[in-house]
């Protein structure tokens, strides 16, 4: 779920209770937000909105205080680990990259880890600022071009596009090595267009308050784009058809608020929370994971490594230049090495780790337990 949370915490940190009703209804495994101002705000969301009612599994990425407002990823650590995060600078706001991996039940010596490359963008607002939005999209696509064999890319946020034919949107979808797609295939002139009333995400209000915009629902600013492999399971993950939704959008909101006329698509407590939390609706979709996709043939491994816990000896199956990363299950990188040594001593404390080895375009991951 992607959500512009309207300058949080600003002067109303108690909105964490309002957000709690929304996220406890949706229960997203990945929650990506825009318009976060402070690390204290991120902690309030984590402790007061997500980890409530006996839930303790949510964690968050590091807070990076960039220009203007900031992004944040919250994730269900029972299912997902955070491998790394990177800030992509633009002239206005950073675009955030979060590389997460699925903690599949089948993660073991003969399976590959399934990765999702998650991006959060909040582009320049304003009908006349399409050129700056295009520049920001170019920065993102240049970054994606530097990534080798990127898989399962999810790019979402508040794009402030007035039309799917706007230059920035075209750059996202049609340029570079990683093409991006609207899962609904509803590219059009969205702004003020009744034909797209069921897709509009802004504004939840007809009158402005709390620094938010009014005017009712008439723009599709908030979107999620995905790479083509998320349609066919080719990299172990797939978009679930018909799961994409702007929460609370029932198609009866054109130039109206999320609470008037009566909204029967969500409980009253949720529609009212959407109204008071932000002038944007969150957008969400489901991703199905196939943890058997990465299984290798045991008889003919082409690239492998072993770790002897007793001798604490790490050994690569063949001599090569490689990059070795060791992650704890909470996603923190606890060891990194670039080497061509075929074996060396790797001392780890007791615990469960993900070891990831990369050499060129080849990679191999394993989960190990040291008790």
Domain boundaries, the chain: 2-289, 305-370
d(CA 220, CA 128): 16
**What pLDDT score was predicted for residue 342?**
87
**What pLDDT score was predicted for residue 88?**
95
**What pLDDT score was predicted for residue 292?**
61
Widest distance between CA atoms in the chain: 69
CATH code of the domain occupying 2-289: 3.60.10.10
**What pLDDT score was predicted for residue 364?**
76
Residue 9 DSSP class: S
Which tokens in the block code for residue 311? 């001798």
**What pLDDT score was predicted for residue 108?**
54
Task: Using CB atoms within 10 Å of the CB of residue 40, give its burial: 0 to 12 exposed, 13 to 18 middle, 19+ buried.
Answer: exposed
**What pLDDT score was predicted for residue 359?**
81
**What pLDDT score was predicted for residue 298?**
37
Question: What is the full per-residue pLDDT of the chain (371 aa) written as tens digits?
Answer: 999 999 999 989 999 999 999 999 999 999 999 999 999 999 999 999 999 999 999 999 999 999 899 999 999 999 999 999 999 999 999 999 999 999 887 665 445 689 999 999 999 999 999 999 999 999 999 999 988 889 999 999 999 999 999 999 999 999 988 999 999 999 999 999 999 999 999 999 999 998 999 999 999 999 999 999 999 888 999 999 999 999 999 999 999 999 999 999 999 999 999 999 999 999 999 999 986 654 444 333 456 788 887 778 888 888 888 888 888 766 677 888 898 888 888 888 888 888 888 887 677 777 777 76
**What pLDDT score was predicted for residue 330?**
62
> How big is the CA angle at 115 (ends 113 and 116), to the nearest 5 degrees?
160
d(CA 89, CA 86): 10
**What pLDDT score was predicted for residue 203?**
98
CATH code of the domain occupying 305-370: 2.60.40.3080
Long-range contact pairs involving 128-135 (C-beta distance under 8 Å, separation at least 24): 129/160, 130/162, 130/166, 130/167, 130/168, 131/167, 132/91, 132/92, 133/159, 133/160, 133/161, 133/166, 133/167, 133/168, 134/166, 134/167, 134/168, 134/171, 135/90, 135/91
């Amino acid at each position: 779920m992607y959500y512009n949370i309207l300058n949080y915490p600003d002067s109303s940190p108690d909105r964490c209770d309002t957000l709690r009703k929304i996220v406890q209804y949706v229960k997203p495994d990945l929650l990506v937000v825009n318009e976060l101002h402070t690390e204290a705000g991120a902690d309030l969301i984590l402790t007061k909105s997500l980890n409530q009612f006996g839930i303790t599994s949510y964690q968050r990425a590091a807070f990076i205080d960039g220009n203007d407002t900031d992004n944040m990823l919250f994730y269900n650590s029972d299912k997902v680990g955070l491998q790394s995060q990177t800030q992509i600078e633009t002239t206005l706001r950073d675009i955030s990259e979060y590389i997460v991996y699925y903690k599949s039940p089948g993660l073991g010596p003969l399976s590959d880890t399934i990765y999702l490359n998650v991006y959060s963008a909040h582009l320049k607002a304003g009908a006349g600022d399409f050129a700056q939005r295009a520049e920001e999209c170019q920065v993102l696509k240049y970054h994606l071009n530097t990534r080798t064999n990127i898989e399962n890319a999810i790019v979402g946020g508040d794009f402030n596009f007035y039309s799917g034919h706007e230059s920035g949107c075209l750059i996202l979808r049609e340029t570079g090595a990683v093409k991006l797609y609207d899962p609904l295939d509803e590219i059009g002139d969205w702004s003020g267009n009744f034909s797209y009333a069921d897709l509009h995400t802004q504004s939840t209000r007809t009158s402005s308050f709390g620094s938010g915009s009014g005017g009712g629902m008439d723009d599709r600013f908030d979107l999620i784009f995905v790479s083509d492999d998320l349609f066919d399971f080719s990299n172990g993950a797939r978009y679930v058809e018909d799961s994409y939704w702007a929460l609370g959008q029932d198609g009866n909101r054109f130039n109206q608020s999320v609470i008037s006329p009566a909204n029967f698509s969500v409980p009253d407590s949720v529609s009212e929370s959407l109204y008071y939390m932000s002038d944007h609706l969150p957008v969400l979709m489901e991703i199905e994971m196939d943890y058997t996709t990465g299984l290798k043939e045991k008889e003919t491994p082409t690239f492998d490594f072993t770790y002897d816990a007793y001798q604490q000896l790490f050994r690569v199956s063949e001599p090569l230049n490689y990059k070795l990363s060791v992650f704890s299950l909470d996603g923190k990188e606890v060891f990194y090495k670039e080497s061509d040594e075929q074996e060396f001593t790797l001392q780890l404390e007791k615990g469960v780790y993900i070891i990831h080895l990369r050499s060129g375009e080849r990679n191999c991951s394993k989960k190990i337990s040291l008790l």
